Structure 1
Amino acid sequence: MQLTYQKLKPFALSYLTAPLAVFFAGYLRAPFAVASLAVLAFAWWYAVCKTPQVKQVGQEEQGITLSVPKLVLLFALMLLWGYLGGQTGFFYQNSDWGYRNAIYRDLITNSWPVYYPQKDTALVYYIGHWLVPAALTKPVYALFGMDIAWMFARMALWVWTALGTYLVALNLLVYLRADTGKKQAIGLLFLIFFSGMDILGALYSSRLPDLLAYDAMHLEWWTNDFQFSSLTTCLFWVFNQTVGAWLATICFLQEDDCRNYLLLGTACLMCGPFPFVGLVIFMVVRGIVLLAQRQKGVLQSAFSPANVLVLVVVFSITASYFLANNAFGYSVLGETVAGNQAAQQSFGQNVLTSLQKGMLVFYLLDAGIYLLLLWRQNRRSWLFYTCAVSLFIIPFFKVGQGCDFCMRVSIPAIFILMTLCARYFIALVDTKWQDGTLAQHAVTILLAATLLIGACTPAMEIYRGICHIAKEGTFCLENEEPYTLADRPVSLNFETQNCENKLFFTYFAK
Structure 2
Amino acid sequence: MTPKIDGLLTRLSILFVAIPYLVFTTCWLNIPSAIGFSGVVLVSLFLVFKNIHSDTSVDALFLNQKKSIYWMLGIIIIWIFFSGIGSYTFQNTDHLYRNAIFRDLVKTPWPVIYKVEGFEGHILDGKTTMMTYYLGYYLPAAALGKIFGFGFAKFSLFLWTVIGTVLVTYQIGKFLKTFSFKILLLFFGWGTLFFIGALYKYSFYEVINEQNYLWAGMRLYADSNLGLIYWTFNQSLPAWIIILLIFNQGSIKNMWFLSSFCFFLSPFAFVGLIPFLLYISVKDFEGSLASAADWQKNLKLHFSFQNLIGAGSVSILNLLYLSTNQAGKFFQLLPNANLKIWIVFILLSWGLIAVFILPKYKKEPLFWLIVGVLIPLPFFQQGYGIDFPGRVSIPALFLLMLLVGKYLREVKTGVLRIAVLAYLAVSAIGHNVIETGRSMAMTGIENISHNTNFDDVLQASSTPTLQKMGDALEDIKDENICIKDFGTVLNPKNEVIWNYMADIEHSYFYKWFAKKPTQ
What is the TM-score with the length of structure 1 in the denominator? Answer: 0.84
Query: 1:217: how far off?
Result: 7.0
Query: 1:50: how far off?
Result: 2.8
Query: 1:368: how far off?
Result: 1.1
1:130 is aligned, of 138, 159, 176, to 138
**CA 388–293 in structure 1, closer or farther in 2 if over 3 Å, else same:** farther
Query: 1:274: how far off?
Result: 0.4
Rounded to whole Å, the distance in 2 between the matches of 1:354 and 1:21 is: 45
**CA 293–316 in structure 1, closer or farther in 2 if over 3 Å, else same:** same
Tell me the amino acid that sits aligned with residue 417 of structure 2: T
Q: Is the 8 A contact 2:258 2:311 kept in 1?
A: no
CA distances 1:449-471 after superposition (whole Å, capped 9, x unpaired): 22222221233211111232344
Q: Is the 8 A contact 2:207 2:213 kept in 1?
A: no
Instruction: Tell me what 1:495 maps to.
Output: 501
Q: Is the 8 A contact 1:211 1:221 kept in 2?
A: no
**CA 212–494 in structure 1, closer or farther in 2 if over 3 Å, else same:** same
Query: 1:177: how far off?
Result: 0.3
CA distances 1:432-464 after superposition (whole Å, capped 9, x unpaired): xxxx5xxxx111122122222222123321111
**CA 33–379 in structure 1, closer or farther in 2 if over 3 Å, else same:** same
Gaps of 5+ in 2: 118-127, 289-293, 451-479
Q: State the secondary structure of the residue aligned to 2:363.
A: coil
Instruction: Tell me what 1:236 maps to.
Output: 230
Instruction: Tell me what 2:51 maps to.
Output: 50
Matched, 1:457 2:458: no
**CA 303–155 in structure 1, closer or farther in 2 if over 3 Å, else same:** same
Q: Which residues in structure 2 correspond to 1:277-292 (within 5 Å)?
A: 277-291=271-285
Q: State the secondary structure of the residue aligned to 2:196.
A: helix
2:366 is aligned, of 365, 383, 392, to 383
Tell me the amino acid that sits aligned with residue 459 of structure 1: V
Query: 1:166: how far off?
Result: 0.6
CA distances 1:458-507 after superposition (whole Å, capped 9, x unpaired): 3321111123234433697553431012333671211112x121121111
Tell me the amino acid that sits aligned with residue 323 of structure 1: S
Instruction: Tell me what 2:441 maps to.
Output: 467
1:365 is aligned, of 306, 329, 348, to 348
Query: 1:275: how far off?
Result: 0.9
Tell me the amino acid that sits aligned with residue 299 of structure 2: L
Point out the structure with max Rg over C-alpha: 2
**CA 106–256 in structure 1, closer or farther in 2 if over 3 Å, else same:** closer
Tell me the amino acid that sits aligned with residue 495 of structure 1: M
Instruction: Tell me what 2:9 maps to.
Output: 8
Q: State the secondary structure of the residue aligned to 2:252.
A: coil
Matched, 1:394 2:377: yes
Q: Is the 8 A contact 1:373 1:443 kept in 2?
A: yes
Instruction: Tell me what 2:187 maps to.
Output: 191
Q: Is the 8 A contact 1:230 1:458 kept in 2?
A: no
Rounded to whole Å, the distance in 2 between the matches of 1:3 and 1:478 is: 42
2:269 is aligned, of 275, 297, 302, to 275
Instruction: Tell me what 1:208 maps to.
Output: 202
Q: Is the 8 A contact 1:3 1:174 kept in 2?
A: no
CA distances 1:112-166 after superposition (whole Å, capped 9, x unpaired): 11001244211111211110011111112xxxxxxxx222111111101100111
Tell me the amino acid that sits aligned with residue 287 of structure 1: S
Rounded to whole Å, the distance in 2 between the matches of 1:52 and 1:470 is: 47
Q: Is the 8 A contact 2:259 2:270 kept in 1?
A: yes
Q: Which residues in structure 2 correspond to 1:426-465 (within 5 Å)?
A: 426-428=409-411, 431=412, 436=413, 441-455=414-428, 456-465=430-439
Query: 1:43: how far off?
Result: 1.6
Q: Is the 8 A contact 2:16 2:164 kept in 1?
A: yes
Tell me the amino acid that sits aligned with residue 182 of structure 2: I
Tell me the amino acid that sits aligned with residue 108 of structure 2: N
Instruction: Tell me what 1:302 maps to.
Output: 302
Identify the range of structure 1 (5-14 vs 369-378) with the bigger mean alpha-carbon deviation.
5-14
**CA 118–445 in structure 1, closer or farther in 2 if over 3 Å, else same:** closer
CA distances 1:284-313 after superposition (whole Å, capped 9, x unpaired): 222132337769963123222211102332
Instruction: Tell me what 1:143 maps to.
Output: none
Gaps of 5+ in 1: 54-58, 141-148, 337-342
Matched, 1:485 2:475: no
Instruction: Tell me what 1:65 maps to.
Output: 62
More relative contact order, 1 or 2 (CA 8 Å, 6+ apart):
1
CA distances 1:71-109 after superposition (whole Å, capped 9, x unpaired): 433332222121111123121011111111111111111
Tell me the amino acid that sits aligned with residue 438 of structure 2: R
Identify the range of structure 1 (236-245 vs 480-489) with the bigger mean alpha-carbon deviation.
480-489
**CA 458–406 in structure 1, closer or farther in 2 if over 3 Å, else same:** farther
Rounded to whole Å, the distance in 1 between the matches of 2:14 and 2:449 is: 39
Q: Is the 8 A contact 1:91 1:477 kept in 2?
A: no
Query: 1:266: how far off?
Result: 1.7
**CA 118–366 in structure 1, closer or farther in 2 if over 3 Å, else same:** closer
Tell me the amino acid that sits aligned with residue 87 of structure 1: I
Instruction: Tell me what 1:167 maps to.
Output: 167
Q: Is the 8 A contact 1:198 1:457 kept in 2?
A: no
**CA 199–486 in structure 1, closer or farther in 2 if over 3 Å, else same:** closer
CA distances 1:347-387 after superposition (whole Å, capped 9, x unpaired): 5xx34x25536222211111111111112222332221221
Q: Is the 8 A contact 1:211 1:219 kept in 2?
A: no
Q: Is the 8 A contact 1:326 1:494 kept in 2?
A: no
Q: Please, what is the CA RMSD of the aligned residues?
A: 2.6
Rounded to whole Å, the distance in 2 between the matches of 1:158 and 1:191 is: 19
Q: Which residues in structure 2 correspond to 1:87-106 (within 5 Å)?
A: 87-106=85-104
Rounded to whole Å, the distance in 2 between the matches of 1:28 and 1:357 is: 51
Rounded to whole Å, the distance in 2 between the matches of 1:408 and 1:492 is: 19
Tell me the percent identity.
25
Query: 1:260: how far off?
Result: 1.2
Q: State the secondary structure of the residue aligned to 1:121.
A: strand
Rounded to whole Å, the distance in 1 between the matches of 2:209 and 2:130 is: 33
Alignment length (residue pairs): 463
Q: State the secondary structure of the residue aligned to 1:238.
A: helix
Rounded to whole Å, the distance in 2 between the matches of 1:485 and 1:12 is: 31
Rounded to whole Å, the distance in 2 between the matches of 1:447 and 1:220 is: 25
Identify the range of structure 1 (116-125 vs 294-303) with the bigger mean alpha-carbon deviation.
294-303
Rounded to whole Å, the distance in 1 between the matches of 2:73 and 2:419 is: 32
Q: State the secondary structure of the residue aligned to 2:502.
A: strand
Tell me the amino acid that sits aligned with residue 154 of structure 1: K
Instruction: Tell me what 2:456 maps to.
Output: none
Rounded to whole Å, the distance in 1 between the matches of 2:278 and 2:198 is: 35
